[in-house]
Chains A and B, each alone.
Chain A
Amino acid sequence: MMMYMNDDMLYRFTPDALKYLYVNCSKYLDTYRNPDANFEKILQNAGFTNYREPVSVRFTRSLKLDIPNRVIPRYAELGAIEFYNVLEGMSPRLATDPSLLAYINHFYLHKYGLKRWNVSDDDKKAVKNIHQHWFSYDGKFRSICEQNLAGRTWWIAHTSLMAAHASNGMLASEQILEMFVHTAEYYHRTMQSELLSNYNIMAECLLALFNANSQLGMNSQISTGQYLEMLAAVNREAGGKLLDALERSDLREIVTRVANDTYALDSNRE
């Protein structure tokens, strides 16, 4: 499955157009299930002469978003960094704008979205699927970065890049992205953790996770439960002190020690 994007200046839906599509999507399920859906026609037929407004974001070149593995569609997100780089002018602020994300989802990612996130044959479930993955109407950060088509793709890339940068060369963004894609719960728990919203702390915890998995080898890996346990233990270390205040070496010492204890690894191994 491939989606090509032109060298386009982007738009966001106007509030009324966004609300109309969100509230009325149950009337247009056939359209939503159609890979060649024409959402502009829906809005024009509903009387919208002005359904979008320009934003300072553009696609700098064409992009292919593939679904390389039909058994595990989320492997498409291995292309997330390319998607991220192609969107010039995007920022965390814009990447949490439901109207911009919905516009990208409807006009650029719809065909890809039908493969990535299935729209159910059951109409009630289909409405829920569409609301979750095409809209994120409530604008909540968690639903945007976990469920939204464009939002998840952008944020999984952004987080990988920012954590890699904060790791000062210890981890590459592709390594982090691969961890997140192969084990989606690593990504979800990382994004949900307030502790890890500081990229330095995130980088140290992901480095500890990566090292632990490397030690365990191909046939085993740290479970989500163990990862969560480690995060909780790091949080307990914080307690009356702020990890944000620590020098990097002290932070790394704490995270490494906690990770070794939690993952029951041999701390003498490199």
Chain B
Amino acid sequence: MTHDRLLFSHPVLRPDGLDYTASCKFDVNISVKSKNKNIHLDIQYDLTSNFLNDLIQEHRAEYLAVIKCTKTGQRTAYKSENDIRLELDGGEFRDKLQVSTYIVAKQDLAKFHADEHDIEIRGIAENIPTGSILALTNQREILLDKMDGNVQAIIQLSDSLPTDDWSYNIVMNEDLIEIKMNAQAYRATMYLRSRNPKIIFPLLYVPAIENAIRRIKEDNDLDSLWARVIQNAIRSKDIDIDKADPNHIAQKLMEYPYSAIDNLLESSLKDDDVHE
């Protein structure tokens, strides 16, 4: 739910709002980590309003974080008077979370007026009922690492390359790594993948992941989904990203896909036996 555009009958501190003086702000910082299939959320509230701060200190108002997942229909609210650290069961959610944060009235508030309120609306609301929204931030979306460290799943093949040859391009998108090729190459690749997925790993996936690792080494603060998944995978395999060669790291993350050639060789030798 978003309350960005709702009109209230009392002053509410919100982004781009005019109900409070310009010096008053309410914001939130959210950091996310996945650990053992749980989701750790650190929610840090950033409030510069003496009036609202006093209400919280007096236990007449509190922070409220509402966490919602539209894919699984889950919604839960967390109340606090300070920053909050949550450990959520990853099994309850899919793809993304929406986090809405508020300050709400814990009890009926009489004579709800403050010097921080804009002069034009100061004193318009006499009594604010319990549960009323006193402040809100913009809703945040958090993409979940749905792949649980499975680096294959962050690679997407597409047939959108308008070429006649069998080249492919690796594109680092916001969420996924896209390997683009022409339609014919795509059909052939999908056919091959359905029969023996490991064959295409060394051909396509390893170069794509190597590319990603090089980008991560250049920029530690990348926040894209593919960067988080690869970094999780590297940590889980105790690889030192600073010391190991990116190509070798990529092969290890894909569990040495070139070993698939061994199966092919075995099958090929069996065929030879039959013909003899």
Q: A residues touching B (Cβ–Cβ < 8 Å)?
A: 14, 16-17, 20, 47-50, 91-97, 139, 141, 145, 191, 194, 197-198, 240-247, 250
Closest 4 CB pairs of A and B: A91-B91, A244-B77, A241-B131, A197-B75
Residues of A within 8 A of B69 (CB): 92
B90 at the interface (CB under 8 A from A): yes
CB closest chain-B residue, reference A17: B194
Neighbour of B71 across the interface among A50, A139, A194, A246, CB < 8 A: A139
B196 at the interface (CB under 8 A from A): yes
Residues from chain A with a CB closer than 8 A to the CB of B191 are 47
Chain B residues proximal to chain A, CB less than 8 Å: 1, 6, 8-10, 12, 62, 64, 66, 68-77, 79, 89-94, 102, 104-106, 129-133, 190-191, 193-197
Question: Roughly how many angstroms separate A49 CA and B199 CA in the complex, as a whole number?
Answer: 14
Do A250 and B194 form a contact, CB below 8 Å, given A94-B91, A197-B73, A242-B104? no
22 contacts between A and B (CB under 8 A): A49-B195, A50-B197, A92-B74, A93-B94, A95-B72, A96-B71, A197-B74, A198-B76, A241-B129, A241-B131, A241-B132, A241-B133, A242-B133, A243-B131, A244-B64, A244-B77, A245-B104, A245-B106, A246-B130, A246-B131, A250-B130, A250-B131
Complex Cα distance, B171 from A27, in Å, reads 36
- Shortest Cβ distance from B78 into A: residue: A244
CB pair A141–B70 under 8 Å, yes or no, is: yes
CB of B73 within 8 A of CB of A191, answer: yes
Residue contact B130 to A241, C-beta cutoff 8 Å? yes
Of the candidates B66, B73, B195, which one forms a contact with A244 in the assembled complex, judged by CB atoms under 8 Å apart? B66
Rounded to whole angstroms, the CA-CA distance of A94 and B90 in the bound complex is: 10
Interface centre among A14, A94, A245, A250 (most CB of B within 10 A): A245
CB neighbours (8 Å) of A91 from chain B are 89, 91-92
With a cutoff of 8 Å between Cβ atoms, the chain A residues found around residue B197 in the complex are 50
- CA–CA, A23 and B94, complex, Å: 25
Which one of A16, A97, A145 has the greatest number of beta carbons of chain B within 10 Å? A16
**Contact residues of B: prevailing secondary structure:** mixed
* Residues from chain A with Cβ under 8 Å of B131 in the complex: 241-243, 245-246, 250
Contacts of B72 in A (CB 8 A): 92-93, 95-96, 141
CB–CB B68/A197 < 8 A: yes
Q: Give chain A residues whose Cβ lies under 8 Å from the Cβ of B106.
A: 245
- Across the two chains, which residue of chain B brings its CB closest to A145? B73
On chain B, the residues within 8 Å of A93 by CB distance are 72, 90-94
Q: Indicate if the CB atoms of A240 and B10 lie closer than 8 Å.
A: yes
Contacts of A17 in B (CB 8 A): 194
Q: How far is it, in angstroms, between the C-alpha of A14 and the C-alpha of B197 when the chains are bound?
A: 11
Tell whether, in the assembled complex, residue A92 and residue B9 are in contact, meaning their CB atoms are under 8 Å apart.
no
Chain B residues whose CB sits within 8 angstroms of the CB of A145 once the complex forms:
73
- Contact present for A240 and B130 (CB under 8 Å): no
Alpha-carbon distance between A56 and B79 when the two chains are bound, in angstroms? 33
Q: Of B6, B64, B93, which one neighbours A245 at CB under 8 angstroms?
A: B64
In the assembled complex, the CB of B97 is this many whole angstroms from the nearest CB of chain A, namely: 12
Q: How far is the CB of A91 from chain B (nearest CB, A)?
A: 3
New A-B contacts (4) at CB < 8 Å, excluding given A91-B89, A197-B68, A240-B10:
A50-B194, A50-B197, A92-B69, A245-B79
A47–B94 Cα gap in the complex (Å)? 31
Residue of B8, B10, B77 with highest tally of chain A CB at under 10 A:
B77
User: A240 to B6, Cβ gap below 8 A?
Assistant: yes
Find out whether the CB atom of B77 lies under 8 angstroms from the CB atom of A245. yes
Cα distance, A241 to B133, chains bound together (Å): 5
Chain A's closest residue to B93 (CB) is A93
CA gap between A94 and B74 in the complex, in Å: 13
A190 nearest CB neighbor, chain B only: B73
A94-B91 Cα distance, complex, nearest whole Å: 7
CB of B146, distance to nearest CB on chain A (Å): 8
A194 touches B1 (CB 8 A): yes
The reply to whether B193 and A242 form a contact with Cβ atoms under 8 Å apart is no
For the complex formed, measure the closest distance between the CB of A196 and the CB atoms of chain B, giving whole angstroms. 9
Taking CB as reference atom, which chain B residue is nearest A94?
B91
Minimum Cβ distance to chain B for residue A201 (Å): 9
Chain A residues whose C-beta falls within 8 Å of the C-beta of B89 in the assembled complex = 91
User: How far is B62's CA from A247's CA once the two chains are assembled, in angstroms?
Assistant: 13
Q: Which residues of A contact B94 (CB under 8 A)?
A: 92-93, 96-97
Distance between B229 CB and nearest chain A CB, rounded to angstroms: 16
